Amino acid sequence: MDKKYSAGLVWFRRDLRTDDHAALHHALRSCAKVYCTFVFDTAILEALPRADRRVEFIHDSLVEVDRSLRELSGHEAGGLITLHGKAQAVLPHLARDLGVQAVFASHDDEPYALERDAQVLGALANAGIVLHLGKDHTIFERDEVMTQAGTAFSVFTPYKRAWLKKVDDFYLRGYPVEKHAHALAARPERFREAVPPLSALGFEPTNLKQLGIPTGMSGGQQLWEDFFDRLDDYDDTRNFPAVKGPSYLGIHLRFGTVSVRALAHAAYQRLQHGGSRKGAETWLGELIWRDFFTQILYHQPHVVGHAYRPEYDALKWEHGKQADAHFQAWCEGRTGYPLVDAAMAQINQSGYMHNRLRMVAASFLVKDLGIDWRRGEAYFAEHLNDFELSSNNGNWQWAASTGCDAQPWFRIFNPVTQSRRFDPHGKFIRRYLPQLARLSDDEIHAPWTATPVELEAAGLVLGRDYPEPIVDHETARQKTLARYSAARPPK
């Protein structure tokens, strides 16, 4: 069969796998020879701390992609060309150097990526090379699920309904690679170097391996198989941080070491034909939330740095020394509210935070401490292994009641009630705050309510071993209600 191009280049970005890969599939089908590359983009890397689990995760996942490409191509010279530099400069240079006519990559709708891709497209066009970009990261994106009036959805439930109405095997089917892999080309001699070690990129190893976070396609597969057995229970278990309820696939979805189509397909099948449907239904709903926030970011890019609902940009947040001290206490897990502090210990130690705790911690920062949601959003962006701009922003704005379809502003989580409800025996708290371990299941949620005798029996001195609460919840609640009332536009 005659192919459209004699040579093409696949640019891997957030799709670090070699199966069910839309860009790779299309390139292999339309090019006689296909090269593959990944750019360690200095514009992104320079802003990161020198020990960053995400960089190590990407690095280790690329080693697997490289090995897999060599196996698929059937020769050692097949494999990944790894570049280190500014993508706008090094990618077009490589494409020219290899003499390809087309570059293939997956959509990335984050503002930096859109700008970068526009520049790359221009540089490639100057050299007569085509850039093909397509969907891979979500089931639906951009304008694929719209209201009947042709506008973007801003409320989740009707979006979900429309999503479920539209989805079918066509949207969930995979993009096979293996059967077209003979088109994978040998890298020219000068590009046959292995994926460089982390140190060559200016990074240090992290505790990723000690944490047991499995990387790459094999790691994604391992977590998925483990979770699939628990899928039916997801709806019952997902809210309890001490229970192994969720999938822990966030980082794999973020970097595309799993195919979201394959996961959604399996959950959808289970939903239609499986035993207990509720688990699959709820979990598929989470993947729909992910699509929802992705299309919000695409249609409403002002959400980066601004409230989705502009009237809430008028909220008067706490500033000054005390607010800074409160923010620091939140970051370091020293608020005196055990569930919040245990949650912050979890993110600080592992880069993961359970979804229920993300909601509690975010609500506490915004509605108990009166601190601008953007400060919390930035902290999560730096620390979450699965940080995704669209989901992080969407969920922070949900918690802050500034977003689309957000938690109503007058609904304010009580951190103690949340603790009693979702960590009833204090199991999660004890894991991260061992100094509270000897408090009873009742006192552990609010140590300041324990009597002196109870505190002594638990070997605990408040203010020495564990802080007193930095704010009183009820007082903070009243202040928050006033803050939001003042920012609301007059009726």
Ligand X SMILES: Cc1cc2nc3c(=O)[nH]c(=O)nc-3n(C[C@H](O)[C@H](O)[C@H](O)COP(=O)(O)OP(=O)(O)OC[C@H]3O[C@@H](n4cnc5c(N)ncnc54)[C@H](O)[C@@H]3O)c2cc1C
Q: How many residues bind ligand X (CB under 6 A)?
A: 26
Answer yes or no: are the C-beta atoms of 458 and 439 closer than 8 Å.
Answer: yes
Cβ distance to ligand X smaller for residue 86 or 230: 230
Answer yes or no: are the C-beta atoms of 218 and 86 closer than 8 Å.
Answer: no
Binding mask 194-213 for ligand X (x = CB under 6 A): --------------------
CA-CA distance, 94 to 382, in Å (whole number)? 31
Cβ distance to ligand X smaller for residue 18 or 346: 346
Cβ distance to ligand X smaller for residue 247 or 346: 247
Task: Restricting to residues 351-370, name those near ligand X by CB under 6 A.
Answer: 355, 358-359, 362
Cβ distance to ligand X smaller for residue 15 or 443: 15
> Does the active-site annotation cover 286?
yes
- Contact between 392 and ligand X per CB under 6 A: yes
Region binding ligand X by CB under 6 A among candidate stretches 32-40, 96-104, 246-254, 414-422 = 246-254
- What is the nearest approach in angstroms of ligand X to the Cβ of residue 128? 38
> Torsion angle, CA of 171/384/372/308, rounded to 10 degrees?
-10
- What is the nearest approach in angstroms of ligand X to the Cβ of residue 59? 20
- Contact between 153 and ligand X per CB under 6 A: no
The catalytically annotated residue of 144, 281, 317, 454 is 317
> Does the active-site annotation cover 396?
yes
The catalytically annotated residue of 373, 385, 388, 443 is 373
- What is the nearest approach in angstroms of ligand X to the Cβ of residue 293? 5
- Contact between 81 and ligand X per CB under 6 A: no
Cβ distance to ligand X smaller for residue 77 or 304: 304
Q: Is 40 annotated as a binding residue?
A: no
Task: Restricting to residues 99-118, name those near ligand X by CB under 6 A.
Answer: none
- Contact between 428 and ligand X per CB under 6 A: no
Q: Which of 193, 258, 249, 187 is nearest to 40 (CA)?
A: 193
- What is the nearest approach in angstroms of ligand X to the Cβ of residue 227? 7
Region binding ligand X by CB under 6 A among candidate stretches 38-46, 200-208, 395-403, 464-472 = 395-403
Q: Is 290 annotated as a binding residue?
A: yes
Q: Is 288 annotated as a binding residue?
A: yes
CA-CA distance, 234 to 246, in Å (whole number)? 7
- Contact between 228 and ligand X per CB under 6 A: no
Beta bridge partners of 11: 37
- Contact between 384 and ligand X per CB under 6 A: yes
- Contact between 250 and ligand X per CB under 6 A: yes
Q: Residue 439 is encoded by which pair of tokens? A: 């408090």
Q: Is 163 annotated as a binding residue?
A: no
Region binding ligand X by CB under 6 A among candidate stretches 120-128, 159-167, 382-390, 424-432 = 382-390
Region binding ligand X by CB under 6 A among candidate stretches 201-209, 248-256, 317-325, 403-411 = 248-256
- What is the nearest approach in angstroms of ligand X to the Cβ of residue 386? 4
Binding mask 289-328 for ligand X (x = CB under 6 A): xx--x-----------------------------------
- Reduced 3-state DSSP string for the chain: CCCCEEEEEEEECCCCCCCCCHHHHHHHHHEEEEEEEEEEEHHHHCCCCCCCHHHHHHHHHHHHHHHHHHHHHCCCCCCEEEEEECHHHHHHHHHHHHCCCEEEEECCCCHHHHHHHHHHHHHHHHCCCEEEEECCCCCCCCCCCECCCCCECCCHHHHHHHHHHHCCHHHHCCCCCHHHHHHECCCCHHHCCCCCCHHHHCCCCCCCCCCCCCCHHHHHHHHHHHHHCCHHHHHHHCCCCCCCCCCCCHHHHHHCCCCHHHHHHHHHHHHHHCCCHHHHHHHHHHHHHHHHHHHHHHHCHHHCCCCCCHHHHHCCCCCCHHHHHHHHHHHCCCCCCHHHHHHHHHHHHHCCCCHHHHHHHHHHHHHHCCCCHHHHHHHHHHHCCCCCHHHHHHHHHHHCCCCCCCCCCCCCCCHHHHHHHHCCCCHHHHHHCHHHCCCCCCHHHCHHHCCHHHHHHCCCCECCCECCCCCCHHHHHHHHHHHHHHHCCCC
Q: Is 293 annotated as a binding residue?
A: yes
> Which residue in 79, 214, 220, 246 binds ligand X (CB under 6 A)?
246
- Contact between 380 and ligand X per CB under 6 A: yes
The catalytically annotated residue of 71, 141, 286, 318 is 286
> Does the active-site annotation cover 355?
yes
- Contact between 287 and ligand X per CB under 6 A: yes
Biggest CA-to-CA distance, the chain: 84
> Does the active-site annotation cover 224?
no
CA-CA distance, 17 to 69, in Å (whole number)? 9
Q: Is 289 annotated as a binding residue?
A: yes
> Which residue in 18, 30, 73, 247 binds ligand X (CB under 6 A)?
247
In angstroms, how far is CA 365 from the centroid of its own chain? 20
Known binding-site positions for FAD = 234, 283, 286-293
Q: Which residues are designated catalytic?
A: 286, 289, 317, 355, 373, 396
Q: Contact positions toward ligand X, by CB under 6 A?
A: 238, 246-250, 253, 286-287, 289-290, 293, 355, 358-359, 362, 380, 384, 386-388, 391-392, 395-396, 399
